[in-house]
Amino acid sequence: MNPKPLLSKVFRSTQVNPRTYWLVIVVLALTLLFSLANILVSPTASAKNNAEPATGSESFGYAVPFTTTTPTASVTPTETLTATVTPTSTATTTSTATTTPTNTATPTPTPTQTPSPEGRNSFLPAISRGLTATPTPTLTPTPLPKGIHGYVTLNGSPVNGVALDLRFYNGAEWFTFASTTTNSAGYYSILNVPALGAGQRYYIRYLNYSDPNRMLTWHTKRLEVYTTGADHQFVSFEIGNIYSISPAAGAVVPLPYTFRWSARIASPTDNYEFNLYDYADGNPYFWTNPALGFVDHYDLTSLPTGFAVGQPYVWIVWVYSPSGKLEDGYGLSSSLYYVTFSTSGDPVIIQMPMAGSKWAVENTTSEFDLPVISPDRLVGDE
């Protein structure tokens, strides 16, 4: 059947330009073709468009962190196209596509930061040693009793083997209660010493009759109060000698004259005293009072009372503790030199003579236990 006459009638009845009808028909036909093409391609394309991007891939040049995803894409396109023309034409298209891709990636565990003992962060796992340190107990030794003790030096150094006596005054006389010697450290100790009663005394005595390089004697400070077995330390003392320098032994000198000796550098607290006396009986006897201090000479300007020109005398240096008192400790040089005066010198006496002898015999009743002088220690006897 030829449609042209029919279309001509339609065009005339609607009074529409035939070209317009042909244009509408072409548009409807193209629309129908596009819809059919979309239906055929749509299930695959929709699944691709709705799927989640793959994990662990690279995007724009940097790594995308691994994550766990469960993408679900449901595409249910429904398209209904209806075209009505004269003659009428209806087309209905329904297309449903469901895609469920699953992509699961196992994440890498994140390291746990554990603070180190020093307070700094460390990526090392914490270490449990499982050990508990037990402190070693400190042993405190029980101090040994020291009794009456102290130290002795020779020219400033500890001296070994020095014989010492503990002298005891019972209220009437002196005698040796105990004896000991120093060790390599110059240390001495006497244990189990009884208590002192009223009017009694203790002290340590050094006595030397053989070595010219050491003091004749040293007496420590007297101890007047003591309980049985108590610890008491005497002040350390020096036994290096005080040498007589001038005049020479046995010299005859005019007055005034300067007597010189060697001050002990190792004992700078020495307090010196010049002594001059008649050796036969200790009378007359002269000594400087008060003591002179840490000096090395004494100027004798004239003969003290009781001394005579042409008569031999002995001179010696005594040394005291800083106080200058016998009871606080004293010693004697082992240099005893004879001297004779040729003139009486200046009649002005600077130091007044002291009366009485400073010597005594062993087991003396003297309060100060004065030492015994051995005649063979004298030098320059005529």
Q: What is the mean pLDDT of residues 317-336?
A: 92
Write down the pLDDT at residue 158: 97
Q: What are phi and psi of 20, to 5 degrees?
A: -65, -40
Comparing 28 with 57, the larger pLDDT belongs to: 28
Look up residue 209 and give its DSSP letter: S
Contact (CB, 8 A) for 319 and 331: yes
Comparing 38 with 220, the larger pLDDT belongs to: 220
DSSP string, 294-347: S-SEEEE-BPPTT--TT--EEEEEEEE-TT--GGG-EEE-S-EEEEEESS-B-S
HSE-up (13 A, CA, CB side) for residue 19: 0
Write down the pLDDT at residue 351: 44
Look up residue 34 and give its DSSP letter: H
Write down the pLDDT at residue 186: 96
Query: What is the band of 58 on the pLDDT scale with cuts at 50, 70, 90?
Result: very low
Query: What is the band of 37 on the pLDDT scale with cuts at 50, 70, 90?
Result: confident
Q: Which residues pair with 46 in a beta bridge?
A: none
Write down the pLDDT at residue 133: 56
- Rounded CA Rg of the chain: 64
Upstream peptide bond of 18 is cis (omega within 30 degrees of 0): no
Q: What is the mean pLDDT of residues 252-264?
A: 97
List the structure tokens of 185: 């450290």
Write down the pLDDT at residue 100: 45
> All domains of the chain, ordered by start, with CATH?
3-56+69-97 (no CATH), 144-241 (2.60.40.1120), 242-382 (2.60.40)
Comparing 144 with 74, the larger pLDDT belongs to: 144
Write down the pLDDT at residue 127: 43
Write down the pLDDT at residue 2: 52
Upstream peptide bond of 247 is cis (omega within 30 degrees of 0): yes
Write down the pLDDT at residue 347: 59
Q: What is the mean pLDDT of residues 326-332?
A: 92
Measured N-to-C along each axis, helices 3-14 and 18-50 cross at an angle, to the nearest 10 degrees, of 100
pLDDT surpasses 90 at 143: no
Contact (CB, 8 A) for 160 and 151: no
Q: What is the mean pLDDT of residues 101-120?
A: 48
List the structure tokens of 37: 């093409």
Write down the pLDDT at residue 253: 97
Indicate the SS3 state at residue 367.
coil
Write down the pLDDT at residue 314: 94
Look up residue 375 and give its DSSP letter: G
Q: For a pLDDT cut of 70, what percent of the chain falls above it?
A: 57
What does pLDDT average to over the chain?
74
pLDDT surpasses 70 at 235: yes
Query: What is the band of 152 on the pLDDT scale with cuts at 50, 70, 90?
Result: very high
Q: Pick from 358, 272, 363, 263: which is nearest to 314 by CA?
A: 358
pLDDT surpasses 60 at 69: no
Q: Pick from 285, 299, 298, 308: which is nearest to 355 by CA?
A: 285
Write down the pLDDT at residue 247: 96
Write down the pLDDT at residue 73: 43
Lowest mean pLDDT among 81-90, 129-138, 204-213, 336-345: 81-90
Q: What is the mean pLDDT of residues 111-125?
A: 45
Q: What is the mean pLDDT of residues 194-207?
A: 96
Q: What is the mean pLDDT of residues 109-133?
A: 47
Indicate the SS3 state at residue 32.
helix
User: Residue 211: how many CB atoms within 10 A of its CB?
Assistant: 12
Comparing 173 with 28, the larger pLDDT belongs to: 173
Write down the pLDDT at residue 355: 42
Q: What is the mean pLDDT of residues 224-240?
A: 95
pLDDT surpasses 80 at 144: no
Write down the pLDDT at residue 33: 80
Q: What are phi and psi of 37, to 5 degrees?
A: -65, -40
Query: What is the band of 9 on the pLDDT scale with cuts at 50, 70, 90?
Result: low
